[in-house]
Amino acid sequence: MSAAAKAKRTMLMIEIPRDELACRIAEASIGATRPAGLTVAEAFAQMERIDPGQPERWRRSADAAVRYFHECTNAGRQPS
């Protein structure tokens, strides 16, 4: 791998908060928005009371999205 390719790859190393990504995926998927002032932890606690296990399913969705992004960057292509 060239020095330029390594530099580009390094620039793409960012921290993506798992729960925040999961919450945003959930919001986009079900067309809902988090109530104003509610943290992700509070939103997931409410979600857990309504549908046990649902927050963990959204976290797994976020994990899959991040894995896919990493696969794409490792392969040197941009996600579509």
The per-residue pLDDT string of the chain (80 residues; one tens digit each, 9 = 90 and over) reads 666 665 555 555 678 899 999 999 999 999 989 989 999 999 999 999 999 999 999 999 999 999 998 888 788 765 56
Tell me how many degrees the CA angle 70-75-78 measures, rounded to the nearest 5.
Answer: 70
| pTM recorded for the entire structure | 0.74
Q: Is 76 exposed, middle or buried (0-12, 13-18, 19+ CB in 10 A)?
A: exposed
Residues sharing a CB contact under 8 Å with residue 12, sequence separation 6 or more, in sequence order: 73
Residue 11 main-chain phi, psi, to 5 deg: -65, -25
